[in-house]
């Protein structure tokens, strides 16, 4: 399901773009590593042990996701990519503009694309620009969340792990060290069912981690299902480290969707609400190659402790797409604290009852007895 569109220069003497404000340099390598989806060895929600979760994957040199690329409106971004893996890879980005020379997707359109298939042992520098009309609007957060990924073979490359986050920010949003002004913590969460059946490294993993590779039936449905990793940042069942913040911290969550038609994610934050484009929520929906930025600020009167950030799609939740974040009392505050003015009491019981899903009987158009479906 793909199509091509054509962009041409239709007018002469077009106005020249305004000078770019800044040039940002990034250096990224693709390397083959052994990855453990559950490094702690157990389910942090139940305490039960996990089965083998170690596999060979390529990585953009930062945990499972690649390094965070950040740019402001008007910037030029130069990404030097070193392919240290054993097959051709590339980098394709959302949210920025580029010439055909810096396009990371191979297809036949009559233009050379050296950046679409960087060979093992070679390097290539991509040049991207962030146009004025590509930045956050007044109703958007200061930084929009996008992604970059290898697209030489987009399905196999991303299922093998080659993906990372990219932020496009308003002017004067970033500090010299690249952190966001006015933000205390930044977290990046990639929700995806990584299908190891569609990884470049399936056969190598079978050879390395099964007792007798000749007895493995790659068409067996149970085997296929066992290779679908319902992961956040490549981790399962609470094994994702580092999600910690203080009360009153201003937190920016950058959430990314990836995968197939199965990857419809209802991301839910327990214990705190988020600001999503000026609306207050406690969750948001993610779909493949769509992303969002959510702002959170646990107040001083909220509870300290450990809370869940999970995908509420049942199959994904059961499969391990659930993790924990921690809110601590790190400092005293001198600001006037909000006082809660009332206590409201509710009494709710859980009872077992017989339920009729078709209590309203109807007749279909043919006059036959039918039932409504809820």
| Per-residue model confidence as pLDDT tens digits over 16-67 | 655 656 899 999 999 999 899 999 999 999 999 987 677 766 666 445 678 9
CB atoms within 10 A of CB 277: 15
Instruction: Give the three-class secondary structure for 276.
Output: strand
Which of 81, 70, 80 is closest to 22 using CA atoms? 70
Q: Name the pLDDT band for 302 (thresholds 50, 70, 90).
A: confident
> Which pLDDT value is given to residue 335?
53
Number of domains in the chain: 1
> Which pLDDT value is given to residue 46?
93
Strands 163-169 and 291-296: unpaired
Residue 304 lies in a domain: yes
Q: How far is residue 340 from each of residues 67, 251, 264, measured CA to CA in Å? A: 42, 23, 37
Percent of the chain with pLDDT over 70: 89
Q: Name the pLDDT band for 7 (thresholds 50, 70, 90).
A: confident
> Which pLDDT value is given to residue 373?
46
> Which pLDDT value is given to residue 57?
66
Which of 331, 338, 266, 254 is closest to 296 using CA atoms? 254
- For residues 152 and 45, what is the distance between their CA atoms, to the nearest angstrom? 38
Placement of tokens 């214990």 in the chain: 271
pLDDT at 332 over 90: no
143 is catalytic: no
Q: What is the CATH number of the domain that holds 84?
A: 2.60.40.420
Instruction: Tell me the two tokens of residue 235.
Output: 């981790």
The boundaries of the domain holding residue 159 are 23-328
Average pLDDT rounded to a whole number, residues 197-205: 94
Q: Name the pLDDT band for 350 (thresholds 50, 70, 90).
A: very high
Placement of tokens 């969460």 in the chain: 189
Burial of 55 (0-12, 13-18, 19+ CB in 10 A): buried
Residue 221 lies in a domain: yes
Which of 125, 25, 23, 138 is closest to 74 using CA atoms? 23
- For the entire predicted model, the pTM comes to 0.91
CB atoms within 10 A of CB 214: 6
Residue 350 lies in a domain: no
Region of 126 on the Ramachandran plot (φ > 0 left; ψ -120 to 50 alpha; else beta): beta
Q: Name the pLDDT band for 300 (thresholds 50, 70, 90).
A: confident
Catalytic, out of 143, 169, 311, 330: 311
Residue 365 lies in a domain: no
Mean pLDDT (the chain) is 90
Residue 11 lies in a domain: no
pLDDT at 281 over 90: yes
Residue 338 lies in a domain: no
> Which pLDDT value is given to residue 63?
53
Average pLDDT rounded to a whole number, residues 261-287: 96
pLDDT at 84 over 90: yes
Which of 94, 54, 105, 61 is closest to 80 using CA atoms? 61
199-208, long-range: CB within 8 Å, 24+ apart, which pairs? Answer: 199/55, 199/57, 199/156, 199/159, 199/160, 199/161, 200/58, 200/87, 200/156, 200/157, 200/160, 201/32, 201/55, 201/56, 201/57, 201/58, 201/160, 202/227, 204/56, 205/55, 205/56, 208/56
Asked whether the beta carbons of 20 and 129 are under 8 A apart, the reply is yes
Residue 344 lies in a domain: no
Residue 214 lies in a domain: yes
Q: Name the pLDDT band for 333 (thresholds 50, 70, 90).
A: low
């Amino acid at each position: 399901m793909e199509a091509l569109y054509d962009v041409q220069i239709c007018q002469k003497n077009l106005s020249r773009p305004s000078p770019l404000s800044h040039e940002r340099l990034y250096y990224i390598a693709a390397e083959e590593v052994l990855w453990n989806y559950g490094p702690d060895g157990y389910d942090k929600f139940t305490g039960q042990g996990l089965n083998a979760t170690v596999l060979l994957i390529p990585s953009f040199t930062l945990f499972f996701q690649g390094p965070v690329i950040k740019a402001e409106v008007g910037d030029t971004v130069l990404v030097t990519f070193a392919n240290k893996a054993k097959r051709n890879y590339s980098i394709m980005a959302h949210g920025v503009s580029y010439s055909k020379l810096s396009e990371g997707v191979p297809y036949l359109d009559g233009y050379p694309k050296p950046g679409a298939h960087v060979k093992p042992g070679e390097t290539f520098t991509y040049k991207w620009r962030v146009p004025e009309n590509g930045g956050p609007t007044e109703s958007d957060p200061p930084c929009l969340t996008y992604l970059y990924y290898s697209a030489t073979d987009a399905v196999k490359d991303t299922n093998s792990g080659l993906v990372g986050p990219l932020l496009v920010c308003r002017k004067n949003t970033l500090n010299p060290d690249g952190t966001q002004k006015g933000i205390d913590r930044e977290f990046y969460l990639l929700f995806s069912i990584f299908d190891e059946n569609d990884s470049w490294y399936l056969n190598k993993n079978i050879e390395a981690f099964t007792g007798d590779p000749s007895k493995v039936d790659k068409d067996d449905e149970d085997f296929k299902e066992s290779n679908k990793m319902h992961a956040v940042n490549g981790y399962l069942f609470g094994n994702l480290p580092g999600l910690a913040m203080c009360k009153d911290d201003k937190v920016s969550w950058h959430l990314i969707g990836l995968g197939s038609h199965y990857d419809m994610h209802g991301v839910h934050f327990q214990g705190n609400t988020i600001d999503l484009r000026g609306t207050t929520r406690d969750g948001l929906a993610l779909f493949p190659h769509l992303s969002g930025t959510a702002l959170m600020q646990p107040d001083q009167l909220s509870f300290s402790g450990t809370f869940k950030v999970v995908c509420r799609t049942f199959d994904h939740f059961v499969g391990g797409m659930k993790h924990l974040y921690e809110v601590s009392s790190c400092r005293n505050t001198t600001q006037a604290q909000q006082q809660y003015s009332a206590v409201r009491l509710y009494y709710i019981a859980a009872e077992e009852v017989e339920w009729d899903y078709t209590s309203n009987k109807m007749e279909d158009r043919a006059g036959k007895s039918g039932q409504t479906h809820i």
